[in-house]
Structure 1
């Protein structure tokens, strides 16, 4: 059996950088971004371009996680180990990825609005923190978005305006 060791902090950072580079490569391919578009160049554009690029990178990271899980199962199979059913991959989204998803659904909100929703319990709480950055389970955010009332939903309630103004 081959010995293995844990990677050093520097090696972990190198792996992290490599994965992000690969994610940007696939994001460019899947979202028809320009070859120069990447972590820095897309942020020179407008807010819509930034959110679209961040969402494309998030999607690419989800695909990479699925591919890594499938590769690990194949490795076990080839090593003669009994196949282990892969754990379902839980895609975690940063605040920017959450905002990009909401914007892609046609109801963009600001980062401050999202933070207010979370603090008041009107949006999912972060699943965990990576360093100091909160991350959300993408499935919870998608379910919340699907159940979310749209902008101006109260305007359709008969008599609401009369009750609020007293007229």
Structure 2
């Protein structure tokens, strides 16, 4: 009987701890709306923070363009294959989360392939992938629960709106 009491007591303590953790850290959800020249290009919703950790909102539509690079290190020539993403990509990553506020790091890209060009010397030349369009990386901002914010992307053609709120689970 005493062992059953200890087991039930341990279960009660664990259940209480889980309930307190859940109550102390409600799940945070972000609504994402991405516009180009006033037209909605992409929209989505994602739970970015919950009692088990943090998850970024990630969206991409595009392709990877391959290219080669050459590096000379002393008497050794090293050839390497690489790729560059071209297209639309959004990453909204939680950096710091509390019950009523989240610090986010945002990367937004909407690029078009322009071409490839050769650079370097005759015995060790590399390719460069040229693109045009939006490339905003690691824009950091704080968003309070219930607040909508426009992310400063540095290009008047684009608008990214984020709204943070508690997730309805």
Superposition TM-score, scaled by structure 1 size? 0.20
Of Structure 1 and Structure 2, which has the larger fraction of its residues in helix? Answer: 1
RCO comparison, higher one (Cα < 8 Å, 6+): 2
TM-score in terms of structure 2 length: 0.20
Of Structure 1 and Structure 2, which has the larger fraction of its residues in strand? Answer: 2
